[in-house]
Structure 1
């Protein structure tokens, strides 16, 4: 195929678009992508901690819109996200599923709650005592950045809540336009064409996590006929029926949803395994991931939100660039101090990340 064509009215990707879809499914399911998301989650949690601390310092604990209990739930979400990244880095793809192994699904719950809450507050449906909620603007900024980064990857990769939903990646005009705006390397890897083929039909259990492509195959025999002979195995050349998808090992293969002029149709299909996802089981990250680029959030965070500026108190954590020059004291031991210029980074203390507080002799 050299152009998008219609086969029996079904819109199909071009050869180049197939390469692009294969590449971005690998990218969105990579440990590189989810480590990046974890950093946005941590920035949001850090900002929340600073907000709660400042509200407590000001005596606003009963008035702030971001409470200590909110912070605890966000920390639990962060812990699930971190566990998901750790397990994914060891090759465990079950973290993408919607079950007891689904660390990313559990991490998404608090995020989804606050993303919805932020929208309701902005639309006036819910209220918040903003004057007594420290760092509310920063809280929203870090939340939005995390939400946008999360949506970029999760929409095509995480197993949906309802298992009768069709496959997530659908080839249509929207995806075609998205592919045009995505970052790709100058030379895209070829789509694998395995000789030893593995197939799975809709509602059968998928044997491996990886990238599968829907193909045209003979209809499944009824149960009586299958007593006498097995279903025929598809033979090349294979005729594709839509966009490839990232499917999850141990889950039932989904239906496909495809576009025809004027409508979308769901149908059972046969999936062909193009690429089994066995990344990271050897402890290595493929070199290809060094070139991965992402589109969300559209703007990077303007500052490191592990820094909190209060009217009278300035504190920051190890690794942060100090916003104000002067003497910085170790929060847990005020006799330990260092002198830094604005922009220099706060060090670890005895090999650990710690919190530092700015003394009075600050320098602008």
Structure 2
């Protein structure tokens, strides 16, 4: 993957914008909406696919799916009031990601496609259509605001910017996540004096923090003219108040093991969104890649094939075999196409459908 430099102004602006996007109410509401589409389709599959079908879906997953929906409802209500503790261990939006990861790991346990919590082969078409709906609610690095906890290492989730900026990182072998469209003008990254904390200390407020090296400390309370107090030491991270500031991960080539590298963290931007009860315009986080000036407050909908479950109600079009546009309701099976051959006989063809308008 490409190496991105956190000293570069464009890289810094992009990471800053992406962290604001990843922690926005609008993005999490969009994730919720997309997951509800999947939940409806999965429930339909469990109820309608014959029990003798070798690809029948596990009804026990419905318990996990309903649990995730419940956590979404609770977490979004809190976030809408500026309560960001929802990303702490055991809280609602942390549970959303925790249970979602479980669902992904155990989604389809046919031994030809699954082994010890991992998918090892492409799923059969009907199962894959459901899996794609499931992943439509997933966002790259969505766990970025979660509380770092559980070991003595407590490594920061984002150490380098590659996982957010490199398009190749969005390809997860059996599925690909949507790459965000950046606005033409990205906000400037603030350059405040602090506060500054160290790894292991309690984070005093929600916001975006920059790992820094202190290149020159104050001497007798005097800062020499032109002195640079802080130097960047890695990728920005988002921390929730009252959590513990994490470490960076080093590597010991002699023992082939990870090492703890403490750092200082400087507050770049305190997150006070929604605390006043006002939800700002966040349409910039959902720009259409084909028209960056046009905001689209929906998770992008990927093309689907005949027989797939329709992910959203709307007008769907295909250009194959002369083309056709049809209206399909969410949860229904995508249709085939009847086309006359040279002898005038109507034959069934499977085609790819593209969403051209939501309804």
TM over 0.5: yes
Indicate yes or no: 2:245 matched with 1:253.
yes
Preserved CA contact (<8 Å) 1:13 1:242: no
Counterpart-to-counterpart distance in 1, 2:70 and 2:308: 17
1:268-321 Cα deviation digits (max 9, x unpaired): 111111111111112222224444349998752649x9978xxxxxxx9xx956
Preserved CA contact (<8 Å) 1:47 1:139: no
Counterpart-to-counterpart distance in 2, 1:179 and 1:344: 33
Q: 1:297 to 1:344 in 2, by over 3 A?
A: closer
Unaligned runs of 5+ in 1: 6-10, 127-135, 221-231, 309-315, 324-341, 347-354, 356-364
Higher strand share: 2
1:120-154 Cα deviation digits (max 9, x unpaired): 5374447xxxxxxxxx8555434334336424142
Indicate yes or no: 2:291 matched with 1:300.
no
Counterpart-to-counterpart distance in 2, 1:292 and 1:344: 24
Residue in structure 2 matched with residue 107 of structure 1 by the alignment? 96
Residue in structure 2 matched with residue 223 of structure 1 by the alignment? none
Indicate yes or no: 2:206 matched with 1:209.
yes
Higher helix share: 1
Indicate yes or no: 2:270 matched with 1:276.
yes
Preserved CA contact (<8 Å) 1:118 1:140: no
Indicate yes or no: 2:82 matched with 1:91.
yes
How many residues align? The count is: 287
Preserved CA contact (<8 Å) 2:61 2:103: no
Q: Within 5 A, what are the aligned runs for 1:116-265?
A: 116-118=105-107, 120-121=109-110, 123-125=112-114, 137=125, 140-147=128-135, 149-160=137-148, 162=150, 164-171=153-160, 177-178=166-167, 182-195=180-193, 197-217=194-214, 237-257=229-249
1:315-357 Cα deviation digits (max 9, x unpaired): x9xx95699xxxxxxxxxxxxxxxxxx73979xxxxxxxx9xx
Residue in structure 2 matched with residue 343 of structure 1 by the alignment? 327
Q: 1:137 to 1:82 in 2, by over 3 A?
A: farther
Q: 1:149 to 1:218 in 2, by over 3 A?
A: same
The CA deviation at 1:186 is 1.1
The CA deviation at 1:14 is 0.7
Counterpart-to-counterpart distance in 2, 1:258 and 1:35: 36
Preserved CA contact (<8 Å) 1:80 1:104: yes
Structure 2 SS opposite 1:74: helix
Counterpart-to-counterpart distance in 1, 2:78 and 2:48: 35
Structure-2-length-normalised TM-score? 0.64
Preserved CA contact (<8 Å) 1:35 1:85: yes
Q: 1:78 aligns with which of 69, 76, 90?
A: 69
Q: 1:293 to 1:86 in 2, by over 3 A?
A: farther
Structure-1-length-normalised TM-score? 0.63
Residue in structure 1 matched with residue 334 of structure 2 by the alignment? none
CA RMSD of aligned residues (A): 4.6
The CA deviation at 1:256 is 2.5
